[in-house]
Amino acid sequence: MAENAIPNDGQPTPYDVHTRESDGEYEGVGHTGAAGFEAPGDVNSPWNEDLPEGEHDELQDGMLPRDLPKRTTFYDPVAERQMTQTDAKLFYQRSKAEGRSASGAWALPTPLGSPMIASGSRPATEYGADSLVLDPDGNLPETQTPWKSHPEMPAQPPEHNATSEPLSKTKAYAFPATTQTQPGLASDGTEARGFLDAQAAHLANAGLLGSSLFDTEPHITSELSSISKNIQRILDLRHKYISLSNQGPNDNPRDGPDWEIYPPPPDPAWKEGRAGYAGSSGLASGQGAHPSYGSLASLGKNEAKRSTRKRKPGQDIGEDFDMEDLLPLPGDDGMTFEMDESGVYQVFESKESEEPAIKVPTIRDFYMDLDEILTTSSDGPTKSFAFRRLQYLEGKFNLYVLLNDYQETADSKKVPHRDFYNVRKVDTHVHHSACMNQKHLLRFIKSKMKKFPNEVVLYRDGKHLTLAEVFASINLTAYDLSIDTLDMHAHTDSFHRFDKFNLKYNPVGESRLRTIFLKTDNFIHGRYLAEITKEVISDLESSKYQMVEWRVSIYGKTIDEWDKLAAWVVDNKLFSHNVRWLIQIPRLYDVYKASGLMDTYEQIVRNVFQPLFEVTKDPSSHPKLHIFLQRVIGFDSVDDESKVERRLFKKYPVPKVWDTKQNPPYSYWIYYLYSNMTSLNYWRKKRGFNTLVLRPHCGEAGDSEHLAVAALTCHSISHGLLLRKVPLLQYIFYLDQIGIAMSPLSNNALFLAYDRNPFHQYFKRGLNVSLSSDDPLQFAFTKEPLIEEYAVAAQIYKLGSVDMCELAKNSVQQSGYELSIKKKWLGPNCDLPGKQGNTMVNTNVPDRRVEFRLHTLLEERDVLRRYAMHDPSQASSGTAAPSNTVAPEYNGSSARPANVSTDLSPGSKGQQQQPSIVESPQALHPALGPA
């Protein structure tokens, strides 16, 4: 209120000065608000309660004069308005009007087409001046420069919209920038080239194609070159391990077009796809060739049965599943398997074969490769390099957001129907036995106590106990039970106490209640857990947009665990469109050893993998397991990572001689999961069965070596907190876009305070992160734990709806859902990079954001590649062009300087080169730390 005391006697005040400056900026905008302020400038105080003329028009229904925004030294309502809904609304209306303008009735005369077209038309990464384009009239001079800088791009005729073919809405939303982004596309109309052209245009814009890259001291260049080679070497190692184990993007038969999902996904989402779906299932079950639209008689027997067995999402969970539909199962294929001396199952093409069908890296290979990664990641200059690149990526994103924030908001407002709540989100990391919230579990326990107190639920010490007796033995009645007595929240007392956290799985601190209610393998065969699981599934299906990947345990204690687990899932019909499973292997060898359950580590390997090889060889030998495995994505590995791992051995013994009471280290556990899974996947892929991936808990605490192990062998990880301490590995995770399912709320309770969580930093840097709830039972307060996770992150980190939708999109892409389902959720091309793969009506992520991410990544990879290919001996001086970076086939025809690598951009021209606006040479040549 101090401002009111300023005398308004016509003397210039700081306010007036500001007014004039800011009026100048908005000259020509023609905004009534601005004009209204200008006129009374000296006569009426701007703080005067009397409204200037123009303002009266702005008063909307029910708005009080005092609510009308006024301009102060620090606040300009006009500028503010340009950044908020009013314009976005205008924007939306315009975009709709443009749709109509094709028919001629609503054509709007605008100088450059409309501002929407003009702004959306340039690559997202060419972000300079984008915000200025948003001026409603589109007549700022800045808007035109980018056009002129592309000589081959024809000036856009104003009547473009009236004369062009009517665009279908979908098409327009999917590719709002199609017609003008890429010159090549506009001139010859081939979509295939568009992507490459865009890349080239971008690289040119970023100044990377200039000679600046190697324009530095030779010794620095050669040092950068050797760093890049080391990084490239790690990436090559990773690619070798991933492709060998069939964990790559195109390796899983489940992602093929013929893969049948049974029970099929619910109908509404699949309306258009019905014919295609029925066709593929017809093929899969070996029935007639035209099953889709024919009469019932032409449907196969199974087809007919299945089509009658439909259910509504959220109701009658499992009623659409009948094992009969899937019989008969395939038989033995004649291949064999055998565990070798070092504890790895090997597969052989036939009984006579002596050589394994696939050569799995030995444990020695593994540790040597791991050592190489660890050596590189602790090298000083390499660390500095990675650190600076990551900082650069973060800064680049900040700049991008600064300049595109408004445009992104406008883009997403143009999308009809879709918002954050109805984009698909996958909870990429949830433990099944903690998948319900506490209130839910409490309600369930109470209702069981009320309705079935005399049910026998436990056999202990030679006695059968009923539920009532169990509660009597712990001095509790149904009335006593509350969230507080249940005591399963882990908010306050579990920080850095993973041991205490594990105890939180016991309701009321009683392990027998955990056995009764939260175990699949107990006296009642996991019936209670199945019932509550169905209730959770029902909630998920009703929410429609939330999916989960539940972790269930296989301990490796006995050989029949897999069959029991599969029977639990199949017999209880726990099949849902919203649920897929991962198998978590707790690293508990030391516990079993101490209790005398086993002698050597080899028994764990055998118990975990033998049934899987048996069922792959002959599915009819474990029918339920075969069916269950179709919904299993892969392996997780869980336990307290912060436990000390003492290195007892210089060379680790193989499993059959690992008989000490010491638990093997993380790397050893992962190696045996990886190596056996590699053999298994080879076989499963060959038979057309779905393959499995490795997605362990990693980097939650403990040694950063765990992350190196994951970078070498794993599809993706959960947590990854410690990447913040290992810049090189973080950079590797970025370059290869390794998925990280993060759970800041869980970390907040266990290992790292929320405000220190690196999640937001990773996100800004462009790492492939998603949000997940980990243990809703212990951490969540609401009915929708995943939304709670997003909500808290949005509040703390101030995420916008575009950010949240991008995270949701990441989560779907990271998840192990079948490609056909991902296509339904994200759009038909979701496996393509950049905006080609982005269907905005489905993802609600603006194309410009997707393009920014892609181009940044490509650019980063390109910088590395070209440094790695740089041969200092051939560069006589810093500015000399290393000729070996040129792809030979373009050498003669390219108009670019010789050191410009063109393999990304066959169709582009030299004129596209522009001065760098983003990347200064300094950014590319970080001064190296003290080496």
Positions touching Zn ion (CB under 5 A) are: 774
**Nearest approach, Cβ of 569 to Zn ion (angstroms)?**
20
Q: Please name the residues in contact with 904: beta carbons below 8 A apart, sequence gap of 6 or more.
A: 196, 199, 200, 203, 858, 862
**Which is closer to Zn ion, CB of 673 or CB of 735?**
673
Half-sphere exposure of 695 (CA within 13 A, CB side): 27
Helix/strand/coil percentages in the chain, nearest 5: 50, 5, 40
**Nearest approach, Cβ of 720 to Zn ion (angstroms)?**
12
For residue 636, the cross-strand partners are 584
Interhelix angle 819-826/801-814, nearest 10 degrees = 170
**Nearest approach, Cβ of 775 to Zn ion (angstroms)?**
7
Distance CA 346, CA 336 (A): 8
CB 256 within 8 A of CB 274: no
**Nearest approach, Cβ of 198 to Zn ion (angstroms)?**
39
CB 773 within 8 A of CB 743: yes
**Which is closer to Zn ion, CB of 182 or CB of 811?**
811
Positive/negative CA dihedral, 718, 719, 722, 728: positive
**Nearest approach, Cβ of 719 to Zn ion (angstroms)?**
7
Residue 660: exposure state from Cβ atoms within 10 A (0-12, 13-18, ≥19): middle
Half-sphere exposure of 676 (CA within 13 A, CB side): 28
| Cis bond before residue 111 (omega within 30° of 0) | no
Distance CA 86, CA 333 (A): 66
CB 66 within 8 A of CB 51: no
For residue 171, the cross-strand partners are none
**Which is closer to Zn ion, CB of 669 or CB of 867?**
669
- Is residue 706 part of the annotated active site? The answer reads no
**Which is closer to Zn ion, CB of 373 or CB of 441?**
441
**Nearest approach, Cβ of 697 to Zn ion (angstroms)?**
5
Structure tokens at 358: 């696939």
For residue 638, the cross-strand partners are 586
**Which is closer to Zn ion, CB of 206 or CB of 435?**
435
**Nearest approach, Cβ of 746 to Zn ion (angstroms)?**
7
**Which is closer to Zn ion, CB of 255 or CB of 641?**
641
For residue 581, the cross-strand partners are 550, 632
* Helix ranges (DSSP H) in 452-588: 467-473, 483-486, 498-503, 511-518, 527-543, 561-571
**Which is closer to Zn ion, CB of 197 or CB of 774?**
774
CB 582 within 8 A of CB 633: yes
Distance CA 427, CA 441 (A): 20
**Nearest approach, Cβ of 437 to Zn ion (angstroms)?**
16
Which position's Cβ is nearest Zn ion? 774
How far is C-alpha 215 from the geometric centre of its chain's CA atoms? 37
Q: Please name the residues in contact with 416: beta carbons below 8 A apart, sequence gap of 6 or more.
A: 841
**Which is closer to Zn ion, CB of 455 or CB of 640?**
640
Residue 504: exposure state from Cβ atoms within 10 A (0-12, 13-18, ≥19): buried
For residue 873, the cross-strand partners are none
Query: How many other C-beta atoms are found inside a 10 Å radius of the C-beta of residue 266?
Result: 18
* Helix ranges (DSSP H) in 416-526: 438-451, 467-473, 483-486, 498-503, 511-518
**Nearest approach, Cβ of 636 to Zn ion (angstroms)?**
8
Q: Please name the residues in contact with 387: beta carbons below 8 A apart, sequence gap of 6 or more.
A: 727
**Which is closer to Zn ion, CB of 586 or CB of 619?**
586
**Which is closer to Zn ion, CB of 320 or CB of 774?**
774
What amino acid is encoded at 868 in this protein?
A: A
Query: How many other C-beta atoms are found inside a 10 Å radius of the C-beta of residue 338?
Result: 11
**Which is closer to Zn ion, CB of 126 or CB of 774?**
774
**Nearest approach, Cβ of 556 to Zn ion (angstroms)?**
18
**Nearest approach, Cβ of 431 to Zn ion (angstroms)?**
6
Distance CA 360, CA 671 (A): 11
**Which is closer to Zn ion, CB of 223 or CB of 774?**
774
**Nearest approach, Cβ of 430 to Zn ion (angstroms)?**
8
**Which is closer to Zn ion, CB of 429 or CB of 925?**
429
What amino acid is encoded at 384 in this protein?
A: S
Q: How far apart are the first and last CA of the chain?
A: 57
Distance CA 616, CA 332 (A): 8
Positive/negative CA dihedral, 804, 730, 429, 575: positive
**Nearest approach, Cβ of 317 to Zn ion (angstroms)?**
25
Query: How many other C-beta atoms are found inside a 10 Å radius of the C-beta of residue 798?
Result: 9
Question: Among candidates 843, 97, 88, which has minimal Cα distance to 418?
Answer: 843
Q: Please name the residues in contact with 679: beta carbons below 8 A apart, sequence gap of 6 or more.
A: 337, 344, 345, 346, 347, 356, 358, 360, 613
Instruction: Name the active-site residue from 719, 760, 870, 925.
Output: 719
**Backbone conformation region of residue 31, classed left if phi is above 0, alpha if psi is from -120 to 50, else beta:** beta
Show which residues are catalytic: 719
